[in-house]
Chain A
Amino acid sequence: MSRIYEIDFPKLVRLLMPPRLRKMRHVAWLLALCNPVNYLYQQFRRNRDANLYRLKITPQVVYLERLLNDRYDISQRRIKISDGMIYEPVFLYQEIEQKPVYLWQEAENKPLYLYTEEEVGSNPVSFYVFTPRNLYFDENEMGALINNYKLAGKTYKIQRA
């Protein structure tokens, strides 16, 4: 990538001076004069880096995960995204319908999973954002962040794993 925006202002000031005038006090004075420019330049650089980061994030799973982990779980990176799955719904009937659904004991090892509306309903979500249980974040804020980057029309659910 082009490095044209990387300017070392203190060094540039010295390079623009004739070598015989590059005395400590003189250079310090010029650096003081250049300080506002340098300050603006640092702001520009930060803004540019932030914009480049924004542009790098796409709705691809890896990038969304990266974005969320950078924002909420920078060290352990435990936030995961997985596709919405479509499950067979389990119906529970009334007694009169005579279709018993048995719940087994744990030792019998015949698990029965009950899913939520989003998982089996007519509008299943496109993807899940799994966050660790002990991570504290503002769900609305995270939602806004995902909305910013996700593809139009995709639905999601933030779920604590």
Chain B
Amino acid sequence: METVDIKPHQCLLDIAMQTKGGIDTLFAFAGANELSITDNLVPGKYLLVPDVEVTDRRVFQYLRDNKIFPANAFTAEDDAAIKGGIGYMGIQIDFRVS
């Protein structure tokens, strides 16, 4: 199976965008790599690319021709800006009670 390297600050949505042109293939990626779709990815590692059609050929071609690697992952600065945490979380909203 084809693989793709993870660049810094990339999340699974970016990888799907970069290799298939759209995030419709997000769950195929998550399934192929046994990841959750919101998992943090480790830069420098690689992911398996599932055998599915490129969903948006124009976007895919544009990103590839211009060597654009989308990298929109959540960063520590984002975290700080959004101010989640104790006092902001709610039981059953941010975490599960089972």
Contacts and interface: CB of A to CB of B under 8 A. Distances in A.
Is the A/B pair a real complex? yes
Interface of A: 2-4, 6-8, 10-12, 14-16, 18-19, 22-24, 27, 35, 38-39, 42, 45-46, 49
Nearest to B11: A15
Contact of A19 (B30, B35, B37, B78): B78
B82 interface: yes
A46 B92 CA distance: 11
B81 A23 contact: yes
A22 B82 contact: yes
25 contacts: A2-B34, A3-B30, A3-B34, A3-B35, A3-B36, A3-B39, A4-B27, A4-B30, A4-B36, A4-B37, A6-B38, A7-B37, A8-B36, A8-B38, A10-B84, A10-B94, A11-B74, A12-B37, A15-B38, A15-B72, A19-B72, A19-B78, A42-B96, A45-B96, A49-B98
